[in-house]
Chain A
């Protein structure tokens, strides 16, 4: 079992729709969770971090964390063609390690 799992996609959504990206993790002591966007040929760009159960909103992006079920999700409202990218989920145990564990990413395609 991978430590952080994401569906590789591609996930195709029409322009203006809500894109829902999911990530599950195996280690219950994970405390910090991150979503990155990576355009083809570019480095990952941090979109959001979330540390507590529930929702966290930032503009068109909402991160959702459920520690009991060990999943974290990212919702993108009003999806735009410019949102087409690979989205990486990352987790970190707050104590005892400096390492971040990344999923392999979900490729999102927003169709105009």
Chain B
């Protein structure tokens, strides 16, 4: 079965510090990978998605970036965090295999607080 991991689970960082969040998927190959952010009491905002190694599509022009160095690894980064970067960061995947449906599955999330 497939599992998706994210770490760290929680993070408290000062304004202006760098960020690196990691997501890995097990039990599947060549998945589509996604980063979302959910601000307190708000909906899911798509930040980035990737259909393959090194292929990143950005949905929101901000001080965040994403990379996919390996097939099942997706990393979210920032050089300098802003207060507005606080939120619940969710990694998700869906299968690209024909006949597997379009269901998207989420990791456990990272709660980021920027002080």
Contacts and interface: CB of A to CB of B under 8 A. Distances in A.
Interface of A: 32, 34, 36, 41-46, 49, 51, 88, 90, 92, 94, 98-100, 102-105
B32 A42 contact: no
B32 A104 contact: no
A39 to B, nearest CB: 12
17 contacts: A32-B101, A34-B102, A36-B106, A42-B108, A43-B90, A43-B109, A46-B105, A46-B106, A49-B103, A88-B44, A92-B104, A94-B102, A98-B49, A100-B46, A100-B104, A103-B43, A104-B42
Contacts of A34: 102-104
B39 to A, nearest CB: 11
A12 B8 CA distance: 35
B43 A102 contact: yes
Interface in B38-76: 42-44, 46, 49, 51, 57, 59
B51 to A, nearest CB: 6
Interface residues on B, range: 20 to 34
Q: Which of B42, B44, B57, B59 has the most CB of A within 10 A?
A: B44
The majority secondary structure among interface residues of chain B is strand
A104 B41 CA distance: 9
A41 B38 CA distance: 11
Contacts of A36: 106
Contact of A43 (B43, B59, B106): B106
A34 B92 CA distance: 14
Contact of A44 (B101, B102, B106): B106
B107 interface: yes
Interface in B65-100: 88, 90
B70 to A, nearest CB: 19
A104 to B, nearest CB: 4
A43 B104 contact: no
A32 B100 CA distance: 13
